[in-house]
Amino acid sequence: MIDKIKLEAVLDKVRPAIQADGGDVELVRIREDKVVEVRLKGACNGCPMATLTLKAGIERIVKEEIPEVVEVISVK
């Protein structure tokens, strides 16, 4: 089981960079298949760079810190 507190702490590490561009990230849920669902908010919502932010930024750092995470996806 992926520790929600640890995951929130990792998201807190990336949050300042996202907030600097007017966006934010919210943890929605951790699925049983170890996929993490997040919601991109603020300026990230609808931004053409949101996928890059999600995969190259958020997902990369989360998987470095918590290797059991399979994928990070964005949900509405």
For each successive 10 residues of the chain (76 residues), what is the average pLDDT?
Answer: 95 95 96 97 88 93 97 94
* Dist CA 14 CA 10 (whole Å): 7
pTM of the model: 0.92
CATH architecture of 4-74: 2-Layer Sandwich (3.30)
Q: Residue 61's CB: how many other CB atoms inside 10 A?
A: 16
Q: Contact at 8 Å (CB) between 59 and 7?
A: no
